[in-house]
Structure 1
């Protein structure tokens, strides 16, 4: 026992163990709108060595928007240091270094993958601020006319874009009746054939919207310009064709010098640009060397002096043509009357104008028939009136002859021969008929109807036995009959003269 000895051996620790890093929790993916300071991971660090060899320090190597913060004991937490943007970096590979304080130091590194989740923070974006396109008129219905595309940098539903047109009207018509757009592809289609003469341009506003919650959208303007096509024939404004089918007549005196302006053809074209540029040329003429037509003015002038041998009637055919592709043209026929004086021209207009239908002769026939019918009716009325007057006079004569009721007869309404003559004189008149340049003057002299009345002597000779009152009644009755006859005859003549005058005036006006 006395020979045993205790020996204490001290083992000195050497730094032969690397730190160990364990991820206790990780929150991934991380929304890009997560606030700075939010913890996304917890780490536990352990080193089996002792002393300084067991003391561990953790840090991140790269300059990332994340930071390691020491918690309690050997725990660290990984927090967001800056705002994240998935559209820039959608995934981060974070390298965490753990190193002890031994000599030499030992270290360990781990990699943490953090995915950034998308939020709908970007609206759809068009590559250009505005668009424009040209569309030829008379386009087929349903044809594709343009296409727009918008890009959304988000992902998933947040990047799904749909297209639409803002509601608007064009010429009081909804825009949707002119153009439509495919909501998925952004292709625009024409729903009708455009006419440049009605619509020259369309101003549209295209909206692109994503499917996020809430959805975001953006707009872009689109100008559609309708291009003119040569689809309108030149329209001749002057000379206008008469409605009766004949051609207009232009006057040219025989004394006209070369270059005399006879007339001017005026035409317009509803197209635009070179499709509306017009040129004039003489297509056909009865005397080709007599007249010329201005190429751009349409002025018809004499090419030489007019001669006596030149025909009175000159016919010209002028063509008006545009400069479109293919060119369109119209023609007009001119009739030029050549004469030494205007009266000579007017005298020969009947041979220049184109014969028309027989409407005038038919109208004259209708007027004559109407006058004849009215005259017959009026004559019949007069005959009936005379018959009634004669019947009353005959009845009165019979009563006077029989001597019955003479004392009770009323006195005549007339006041004697002087009153009758004064009454008749008021109907004396003059009638003047004038129609056109052919005038007629018909005068009715002032007649003296006193000779036609029954004189006092004849009445006395007829019946000497009549008393003074009977004589006056006989004379007044006879005067009444005569006056009625004269008045009827004069009314008849005035009716005939009125209708003849009316027919002449209407014929001259037509």
Structure 2
């Protein structure tokens, strides 16, 4: 079939105008491209990187991707070239049917900035569809009396292409009785009509065969044909007539299948076969023909497929009524589809992150949310929401896009994760909604230091503890997790009595158990203050301290120590002087003892274990004072020996003993005369000591007067220069100050009780002190003791051996 050359020129001009218009429109829009349908996969569509002002290599860095709604992805991004390419073959007719323009809209998302750029791509039609008719063959019956000029409407050809590629015209094969007339409408060609040019004669020719050709304006031209057979019948002078010129009906889209939608009715006054009317669809789109069913005898129209408002809002059905003789009448049935809220909103979530640190500032983007409803009006108006008790908000963007962001700083210790419910609801009746969940994990940040259960701890441990024993355990808790909650313990560096704490204690860095590195001695120290640090393993690490006060509890591990009389160092025995004129209760001496322990372990009691003359002396239970129990008699021996025991009250009790030697005499000569007879039974050289004592007594008699004068001079000279020694304990504060000298192996304890006599002698030297006679039962006061200075012999009198004077202020 030949196509006129003028048509090809016309098509070329139209194509140029069309592409020029598309180019202008693309430049006017923000981002607009066009691409021909049926292009190969990966075909270039547009330079996205250039239009967005980015370099191709920056596309992946900015996280640029395509987000579309409710359809197959038609395009993709080429990360190397930064261009938009086709994701596959695009069929314009399937995508947009016969719309004048086929536009595909989607958005380009820049993830790091969460910006959306709308993109519009027009799919350019190509001539890939051939015009065709619904029927391959059409048969007409025409009465032989049909007058010339009668018009017979022929089926409309269909071409799925648009523009110049769509149906452009018809041609009818040559026939002397028929011609073709095609009227040009406002937007497309009207149905072709076959015009009877000359009367028919059934007897001459009962059938006429013609070919109707439909062609488009593409290059090359495509065409389709319809075979037409015209049967000439006898005369039928009354054609069918419909009761209405057009039928209108509104039907909800959710009507069940097989519902009677509409009934058309046509009448024919003829009789017999000429009056029998049958109904059929005329010029029906093949997609619409699949939805509706027409009863050819009753004219009832029903649906055999579901109606879908989102696909067709109005169906226009052309119905033809034909009687038995072939006369026809046509009408239109307009079925309007009413929208029903039968589509719940669609929610598409594009997560930006699934985990967020707890210290992230407010405004952190969690996800991009797209909501779409296929319904219209209120049924398609959607809102999106999340529960109000969550620290998140939805920010509305363009085109029903939302951005889920944090409203405030999160705290993992309060909530470690969120399951965010996103609800999209429309405004239809009944309202339909869709819920989608977003899971978000809050990751830990080291923002909590370890916390001890108490601000300080007190530890009590008995002394003499075993080395390496655990004595206490501290524990801290960290509200963080993982490494941020892994705690190590250490001692804060310090010292005690010049020694580092690490020499006393150690701590298990993992468990916080304290161990004693040495055995503690209450007498050296009784309390120890230290600090324990708990530090987590976070970056940066956090720490806290706690104070520990370690109290060492005393044990009775020290026996009483006798300060006075002091234990001898040269084998001699101390001697105390008791005048024979002493009354009962006269204070002879006092045993002074201390205990290094404390409390009950240091509470001392004194008792007399043994005496050479029972009943002559008594010892104070708590004071240790040795007093005369009765009047001294001449028959009482010069030398009296007392064994005094000092015992504490610990468990078990510990004790110490001391032996006192008391000389009974009224005058110094008597003492000196009798001292030679004083022996120490335990001394193996007893005979030598006695000889030395006799020699000493003689020497004392010779130098007696000189010695007294020297002592008085020294007393006056040292009255203001002597300093008092500090008392060794509170219990010994009132004890007298002794002078220790020895005579013939006997150690004499010369002490001053107010104005008592003190005498010291040994085998080599002799010293005499003449105090003022005063026999008092009690010790002198502290004040009078401080004013008393004892006389001592000058060292010039010592010939062979140095004599040491020690004075103790008790």
* TM-score normalized by the length of structure 1: 0.70
The offset of 1:94, in angstroms, is: 1.5
| 2:655 alignment partner in structure 1 | 329
Equivalent runs, 1:469-488 vs 2, <5 Å: none
| 2:400 alignment partner in structure 1 | 74
Q: Distance in 2 between matches of 1:250 and 1:106?
A: 117
Of the structure 1 ranges 295-304 and 169-178, higher mean CA displacement relative to structure 2 is found in 169-178
Q: Find out whether 1:151 has 2:477 as its counterpart.
A: yes
Q: Find out whether 1:120 has 2:446 as its counterpart.
A: yes
Q: Distance in 1 between matches of 2:406 and 2:428?
A: 31
The offset of 1:234, in angstroms, is: 0.8
Contact 2:648/2:655 (<8 A) preserved = yes
| 2:521 alignment partner in structure 1 | 195
Contact 1:435/1:508 (<8 A) preserved = no
Q: What do the CA deviations read for 1:151-194 (whole angstroms, capped 9, x no partner)?
A: 11101101100011122222222221111110000111011111
| 1:231 alignment partner in structure 2 | 557
Q: 1:207 to 1:332 in 2, by over 3 A?
A: same
Q: Distance in 2 between matches of 1:435 and 1:180?
A: 67
Q: Find out whether 1:21 has 2:354 as its counterpart.
A: no
| 1:374 alignment partner in structure 2 | none
The offset of 1:262, in angstroms, is: 0.9
Q: 1:509 to 1:73 in 2, by over 3 A?
A: closer
Which of these residues, 452, 457, 462, is aligned with residue 136 of structure 1?
462
The offset of 1:360, in angstroms, is: 11
| 2:676 alignment partner in structure 1 | 350
Of the structure 1 ranges 326-335 and 240-249, higher mean CA displacement relative to structure 2 is found in 240-249
Q: Distance in 2 between matches of 1:509 and 1:118?
A: 83
| 2:486 alignment partner in structure 1 | 160
Which of these residues, 3, 12, 17, is aligned with residue 338 of structure 2?
12
| 1:32 alignment partner in structure 2 | 358
Contact 1:247/1:353 (<8 A) preserved = no
Gaps in structure 1 of 5+ consecutive residues: 366-433, 440-503
| 1:389 alignment partner in structure 2 | none
Which of these residues, 175, 186, 201, is aligned with residue 501 of structure 2?
175
Contact 2:679/2:686 (<8 A) preserved = no
Q: Find out whether 1:437 has 2:714 as its counterpart.
A: no
Structure number with the bigger relative contact order (C-alpha 8 A, sep ≥ 6) is: 1
Contact 2:533/2:544 (<8 A) preserved = yes
Q: Distance in 2 between matches of 1:225 and 1:155?
A: 36
Which of these residues, 29, 45, 50, is aligned with residue 371 of structure 2?
45
Q: What do the CA deviations read for 1:126-168 (whole angstroms, capped 9, x no partner)?
A: 1111111011111111010111111111011011000111222
| 1:205 alignment partner in structure 2 | 531
Q: Find out whether 1:217 has 2:546 as its counterpart.
A: no
Which of these residues, 620, 631, 640, is aligned with residue 305 of structure 1?
631
Compare the two structures and name the one with the higher helix fraction: 1
The offset of 1:243, in angstroms, is: 3.0
Q: Find out whether 1:315 has 2:641 as its counterpart.
A: yes
| 2:381 alignment partner in structure 1 | 55
Q: Find out whether 1:65 has 2:410 as its counterpart.
A: no
Contact 2:448/2:542 (<8 A) preserved = yes
| 1:245 alignment partner in structure 2 | 571
Q: 1:22 to 1:505 in 2, by over 3 A?
A: closer
Q: Distance in 1 between matches of 2:356 and 2:431?
A: 34
Count of residues paired in the alignment:
377
Q: 1:117 to 1:51 in 2, by over 3 A?
A: same
| 1:468 alignment partner in structure 2 | none
Q: 1:292 to 1:437 in 2, by over 3 A?
A: closer
The offset of 1:48, in angstroms, is: 1.7
Contact 1:62/1:95 (<8 A) preserved = no
Q: Distance in 2 between matches of 1:211 and 1:33?
A: 18
* TM-score normalized by the length of structure 2: 0.45
| 1:391 alignment partner in structure 2 | none
Q: 1:263 to 1:229 in 2, by over 3 A?
A: same
Q: 1:31 to 1:167 in 2, by over 3 A?
A: same
Q: Distance in 2 between matches of 1:170 and 1:121?
A: 34
Gaps in structure 2 of 5+ consecutive residues: 1-326, 693-697, 704-796, 804-810
Structure label with greater radius of gyration: 2
| 1:92 alignment partner in structure 2 | 418
Q: 1:45 to 1:505 in 2, by over 3 A?
A: closer
Q: Distance in 2 between matches of 1:17 and 1:436?
A: 136
Q: Distance in 2 between matches of 1:508 and 1:100?
A: 122
Report SS of the residue matched to 1:37.
Answer: coil
Report SS of the residue matched to 1:327.
Answer: coil
Contact 2:606/2:646 (<8 A) preserved = yes
| 1:446 alignment partner in structure 2 | none
Q: 1:505 to 1:129 in 2, by over 3 A?
A: closer
User: Considering only aligned residues, what root-mean-square deviation do their CA atoms show, in Å?
Assistant: 2.5
Q: Distance in 2 between matches of 1:282 and 1:106?
A: 108
Q: 1:268 to 1:294 in 2, by over 3 A?
A: same
Q: Distance in 1 between matches of 2:676 and 2:569?
A: 18
Compare the two structures and name the one with the higher strand fraction: 2
Report SS of the residue matched to 2:335.
Answer: coil
| 2:268 alignment partner in structure 1 | none
Q: Distance in 2 between matches of 1:110 and 1:260?
A: 107
Q: What do the CA deviations read for 1:10-37 (whole angstroms, capped 9, x no partner)?
A: 1111111111212122411111111111
Of the structure 1 ranges 153-162 and 240-249, higher mean CA displacement relative to structure 2 is found in 240-249
Report SS of the residue matched to 2:338.
Answer: coil
Q: 1:154 to 1:295 in 2, by over 3 A?
A: same
Q: What do the CA deviations read for 1:53-96 (whole angstroms, capped 9, x no partner)?
A: 11111111342111112112122111101110000011112121
Report SS of the residue matched to 1:212.
Answer: coil
Contact 1:337/1:352 (<8 A) preserved = no
Equivalent runs, 1:345-384 vs 2, <5 Å: 345-354=671-680
Contact 1:124/1:152 (<8 A) preserved = yes
The offset of 1:256, in angstroms, is: 1.4
Q: 1:175 to 1:357 in 2, by over 3 A?
A: same
| 1:259 alignment partner in structure 2 | 585
Contact 1:62/1:94 (<8 A) preserved = no
Contact 1:68/1:77 (<8 A) preserved = yes
Report SS of the residue matched to 1:267.
Answer: strand
| 1:269 alignment partner in structure 2 | 595
Contact 2:536/2:543 (<8 A) preserved = yes
Contact 2:680/2:686 (<8 A) preserved = no
Contact 2:587/2:626 (<8 A) preserved = yes
The offset of 1:113, in angstroms, is: 2.0
